[in-house]
Amino acid sequence: MKLIPKVVHTIRFKQFSLQTEKNYVHWIKRFIRFHNYRHPSEMKEQEIIEFLTHLANMKKVSASTQNQALNAIVFLYRQVLDIDLGDFSSFARAKKPKLLPIVLSKDEVIAILHNLEGVPFLMTALLYGAGLRLHEVLRLRVKDIDFKRNLIFIRQSKGKKDRVVPFPRLIQDQLRLHLSSVKKIHETDMKDGLGEVYIPEALSRKYPNAKYSWYWKFIFPSYKYSKDPRSGTIRRHHKHQSYLIRHIRAAADTAGISKRLTAHTFRHSFATHLLEDGKDIRTVQQLLGHDNIQTTMIYTHVAEHGAAKVSPLDSLALNSLSKQTQETDTQRTVAAHVLQPEEHLPLWKKLLSKLTSRFTYTPNLQEAKR
């Protein structure tokens, strides 16, 4: 058997995902091309070091991309070629930046949801309302929703783990209507002889009729049939991830939100808003499905109670205001000072004019009270 077909056969035997299969095959081919199409069995640790160092120093790939290439090469040698490698840890490693997640405010979430409707609205509401990953929303099946207990069951997600998350009550009626439409599609597919849906291979052998069952159908099916790249079966799969990403970006543009958004931004916002509302971090960890609480701790750095709510620059105005109102003890006088900064805060006005002439600032009464 040739090398690449052997790699594919081994990956499928070990029941890796289709995406993992594509990624591993891609990096193995790049590794072979980098060394002028030499067979990997002829190459050892030094060639691996050269390739990984090239990715970091010349291609400037991220740390996660380099790790993906490393995992593919290790899989090739250990699982496919059955070759034990020596020490090759001396390769140059890509630097892993310490990035904070991009988080939407609650008002921004409302604005985006307001500009969505139909299926994109339901999918985005689940991203934010249940803290789901994009692929978890796409792979939801009818059987995973428990309307009576207000729960959603996430099956075999990242790390092959199951978990339970709350089902937002706000969208339950809309989801019921959506499912009634999906069931009509299912009935039409069954009449056309194309009612089969993908289920894991082991379950398909154990329950041969499950693939035709309504309860195994995807909640968000594609509008067209597609050919399974592994089995060659023609059937209706779930929607492609680009469908939702396109609608989210359009809704954000309409709402005037300039942040760099992905579908995962709503999961970040879900976790951050729960912490801001006083939820225990262990609870948030369980809802997100994190193994390590350190992964969840990143959201404490972007939650409002984890950072100063008032900039020192803004506090200059408040301090100036406080000094000028020491001789009065009435809120009416404080309000008068706040609402007329030009009259009472000449120093503040001069400082602002130095920084920029395009922006104006009106101190907030609630901030002044604090």
Q: In the predicted model, is pLDDT for residue 369 greater than 70?
A: no
Burial tier of 217 (Cβ tally within 10 Å: 0-12, 13-18, 19+): buried
Other beta carbons within 10 Å of 106 = 13
This prediction has a pTM of: 0.75
For residue 221, list its beta bridge partners.
238
Greater model confidence, 290 or 331: 290
Q: What is the mean pLDDT of the chain?
A: 84
With H, G, I as helix, E, B as strand and everything else as coil, classify residue 251: helix
Own/partner contacts of 361-364, CB < 8 Å, gap of 24 or more, are: 361/314, 361/317, 363/314, 363/317, 363/318, 363/321, 363/338, 364/338
Q: In the predicted model, is pLDDT for residue 359 greater than 50?
A: no
The CATH topology of domain 98-307 is: hpI Integrase; Chain A (1.10.443)
Phi/psi at 218 (5° precision): -70, 140
- pLDDT on residue 40: 95
Q: What contacts 177, CB < 8 A, 6 or more positions away?
A: none
When mean pLDDT is compared across 108-112, 179-183, 203-207, 233-237, the lowest value belongs to: 203-207
Greater model confidence, 311 or 81: 81
Q: In the predicted model, is pLDDT for residue 75 greater than 50?
A: yes
Nearest alpha carbon to residue 31 among 91, 84, 87? 91
- pLDDT on residue 305: 59
List, for residues 280-300, the tens digit of each pLDDT value: 899 999 999 998 888 888 888
pLDDT class of 326 with cuts at 50, 70, 90: low
- pLDDT on residue 95: 86
- pLDDT on residue 24: 96
Q: Two tokens at 121? A: 């609205």
Helices 63-75 & 45-57 angle (0-180, nearest 10): 160
- pLDDT on residue 315: 60
- pLDDT on residue 318: 56
Residue type, 25: V
Share of the chain above pLDDT 70, in %: 82
Give the mean pLDDT of 184-198: 93
Q: Which residues are catalytic?
A: 133, 158, 264, 267, 290, 299
Q: In the predicted model, is pLDDT for residue 129 greater than 90?
A: yes
Superfamily of domain 3-80: Tyrosine recombinase, N-terminal domain (1.10.150.130)
Greater model confidence, 347 or 115: 115
Q: What contacts 277, CB < 8 A, 6 or more positions away?
A: none
- pLDDT on residue 17: 86
Q: What contacts 112, CB < 8 A, 6 or more positions away?
A: 104, 124, 248, 251, 252, 255, 257
Share of the chain above pLDDT 90, in %: 61
